[in-house]
Amino acid sequence: MAKRDYYQTLGIQKSASEREIKKAYKRLAIKYHPDRNQGDKQAEDKFKEVKEAYEILTDSQKKAAYDQYGHSAFDSNATSNSFSGSFTNATDFGDIFGEVFGDIFGNNSKSQNVRGSDLQYNINLTLEEAVRGIVKEIKISTYQKCNTCFGSGSNATTKTKNCTTCRGKGKIHTRKGFFTVQQTCPNCYGKGYFIAHPCRSCKGNGRTKQIKILSVKIPPGVDTDDRIRLQNEGEAGERNAPSGDLYVQITVIKHPIFEREENNLYCEVPINFSMAALGGEIEVPTLNGKIKLKIPPETQSGKLFKIRNKGVKSVRNRYTGDLLCRVIVETPVNLNDQQKLLLNELEKSFNGFKGEKNTPKSKRFFDGVKKFFDDLTRYTM
């Protein structure tokens, strides 16, 4: 069954502000919250749907991905090396609700350890690597699960003890008028337990700083500012809490020949004066080798030639762009006496700058200059 549009789920416009999103969520969450609809599976499913929409639309990065790609940006069937914008919903079921309402409903679940932070690794690619795809090995220094206590934070011979203040729940409740307000336990700070004898290696944190080596598969067609998400490869969470994600931020370095614009490639190809006038055939580069390009006679400098399907194949829709070659007529330099003599003869044959047949642009330009000065003289007399 297809998911409903997140904006329709919350009953808001796409242009809604964050405040309007939270207001809509609060109204619907109160209506469908499980504590008010005990045993109602339909209300529980509706609450989860509303919560999911709220989490996406209040996260600027996730919202941007959703606005561009829709639900496919969060496809749960994506691989661990999902491309650009495939985010996971890692927020605990009660976290967002508590953020908006201050835990006014009595959620009795024990507080969980903090999920590890997401990390970002900046990687530079050549244009060839970005277009063809490549596997890159990267090294990151980050918190990983402690090898001594295996993430528990406790000495192997001891166990944790429940907090006596909250009785292991991590929360305490106080009555305030109509509502029962749930707050973090001030004694154990929401953990619900104490570690009597912390691990000496990680000092009870359950993680230590380590160097991690990863192989990152870069899909063909990526471009600058694209990101690849490596699920659970970020910072390890405290005491076996879930790990964060690692985002690989891509920058494609400047190429000496080609410039990329979306899926098209551009390059400038110099040709000499004779070929521009008489026409001919030249070899032009592509990312897959050289190809021949026919230059028609009387080609002007700056003319753009399109070579279809020699650009970049899009990573999103698999569409292949074009190669656009701009020819630049190069003025000859370091002429010998014979060459200068030939060019002088050629110039005389053009009848200077007045040769309408051979140099029509020059003829129109200088006729326009003459008219401009004639008009200027007439108006000043």
Binding-site residue numbers for Zn(2+) are 146, 149, 163, 166, 185, 188, 199, 202
Which amino acids are annotated as binding site, given as ranges?
146, 149, 163, 166, 185, 188, 199, 202
Q: Give the pairing of strands 280-286 and 289-295.
A: antiparallel
* The three-state (H, E, C) secondary structure of 262-311, written as one string: CCEEEEEEEEEHHHHHHCEEEEEEECCEEEEEEECCCCCCCCEEEECCCC
Q: What is the 3-state secondary structure (H, E, C) of 129-189?
A: HHHHCEEEEEEEEEEEECCCCCCCCECCCCCEEECCCCCCCCEEEEEECCEEEEEECCCCC
Annotate 162-187 with b (16+ C-beta within 10 A) or e (fewer).
Answer: bbeebebbbbbeeeeeeeebbebbee
Cα 300 to Cα 294: distance, rounded to the nearest angstrom: 14
Nearest to 287 by CA among 312, 321, 269, 254: 312
